[in-house]
Amino acid sequence: MSTQGLLDTLRREGRTILTEVEAKEFLAPTGIPIVPTRLARSQREAVRIARELGWPVVLKVVSPDIVHKSDIGGVKVGLTSASAVARAYREIMQAVRTHAPQARLHGVSVQKMAPPGREVIIGAGKDPQFGHYVMFGLGGIFVEVLKDVAFRLVPLTPRDARQMIREIRGFPLLEGQRGQPPADLTALEQALLGLSAFLEAHPEVQEVDLNPVFAYPQGCVAVDVRVVVEGGALASSAPSGGTP
């Protein structure tokens, strides 16, 4: 679906939060590597996609009405066979019927499990005074507890991207400790610049979360993403969370 087509759909359906599958497709122009994720509408389709992507895979429920997917049993990880995928699909469907019978259901997303890397978070938001900004930090407790994040206003220069990564206190962890090779800092800088350029072209974006992004010695990949756009005619005012 084209970007405009997607925005039209959102407007028609009165929503501002993209589903995971929509968000990943929407962010493709950023050039940020994102774990391939496809929508399956049936058990058979889920198995076929899993075979194409390679093992192990993760299945997640896709519904604009279900925000906390794992709370209702809508996420199944570490699936290594067709039978496991089929069973997971049925269990997710059962969970939705039990816990969220009214939810609009797009299907189930199938994605390959990314090998673990150093977790970072890349985000963006829109401030009423300063406009779009980009955020960078280490994932997990670093962002949640220590608030160890750096901000820059869009547009970022390459120098801004370089400096904001080095500005966080946890930066030495990305350089590699105890014989660990350094994370691919160039790839992270490119991701920040790609997101900045994307935001310049998309004033409607209110919030972006790429969390986590796995940083490897070579390259990086965004595992989960979240996108919120402005309500526009729907005039959804207060954006939720994500503010610095």
* Residues at the contact surface with another protein, assessed by CB under 8 A: 127-131, 133, 149-153, 157, 159-160, 163, 167, 243-244
**DSSP character for 32?**
-
What burial letters (b/e) apply to 54-76, b meaning 16+ CB within 10 Å? eeebbbbbbbbebeebeebebbb
**Residue 71 or 127: which CB sits closer to another protein?**
127
Nearer to another protein, 14 or 155 (CB): 155
CB of 43 or CB of 163, closer to another protein? 163
Residue 79 or 149 having the CB closest to another protein: 149
Task: In angstroms, give the least distance from the CB of 193 to another protein.
Answer: 14
Amino acid in position 236: S
In the complex, the smallest distance separating the C-beta of residue 159 from another protein, rounded to whole angstroms, is 7
How near is the Cβ of 152 to another protein at its closest, in Å?
A: 5
Closest to 107 (Cα-Cα) out of 23, 57, 45: 45
CB of 130 to another protein, least distance (A): 5
> Measured from the CB atom, is 92 or 195 closer to another protein?
195
Buried b (16+ CB within 10 A) or exposed e, 225-243: bbbbbbbeeeebeebeebe
Question: Rounded to whole angstroms, how far apart are CA atoms 170 and 188?
Answer: 15
- Decide if 110 contacts 59 (C-beta within 8 A): yes
Least Å distance, CB 187 to another protein, is: 22
